[in-house]
Amino acid sequence: MNNTNENELAGGTRAQNLSLPSELSAEKIQDFQAAFSIMDTQSKGYVATDDIIRVSKSADMKLTKNEAQLLLGSADDDHSNGIDMREFISMMTTPINQQDLEEELRGTFSVFDKDGNGTINANELKRFVRLWDNELTEDEADDMIEEADPDKTGSITYDAFIEFLLHS
């Protein structure tokens, strides 16, 4: 890093003030800072969904908005709709626990499965989609519902819901 003390990150943030795992070396922290800076091209101090998508495209990876939101949402401890450097490093150093992810997704699904029958109707999913992305147009929301319910049954199973969240 240019003219930056190894214990200081861009913007003057000192590494020890980030409550980082003590086993991280100064070099590893600098690597994380460099990766964060690649995504935070406007030096906002946080990375949002669009930043993640842009970086994934430049790496020839296809990452959907839903996948980027899920990725960021799991690390966004302060619910700011973006992750700061501390949250980014925490995300990068925390192993993914499949059981926790499954429980979180089941919990989300059950919020919309009011009668507990294992399905949610398309209108409930549409409400979820609109809450998740309040900038979504009505047509975009309809397209997403169509994708989640391709057979036009009017309801979505848990498996279809998971497929929709992870692959749309």
- Alpha-carbon separation of residue 112 from 59, 120, 149, 151, 161 (angstroms): 36, 6, 15, 20, 11
Phi, psi angles (nearest 5°) of residue 130: -70, -35
- pLDDT for 45-72, tens place per residue? 999 988 888 877 776 667 678 777 877 8
Residue 101: per-residue pLDDT: 76
Nearest Cα neighbor of 75 from 107, 46, 103 is: 46
Half-sphere exposure of 53 (CA within 13 A, CB side): 11
**CATH number assigned to the domain comprising residue 87:** 1.10.238.10
Residue 19: per-residue pLDDT: 55
54 and 122 in a single domain? The answer is: no
Q: Which residue bears the tokens 């930056």?
A: 4
15 and 88 in a single domain? The answer is: yes
Within 8 A by CB and 6+ apart from 57, the residues are 63
Looking at the structure of the chain, the number of domains it has is: 2
- Domain of residue 125: give its range: 98-167
Q: Which residues of the chain have pLDDT under 50?
A: 1-17
Strand boundaries in the chain, DSSP class E: 119-121, 155-157
Please report whether residue 74 resides in a domain.
Answer: yes
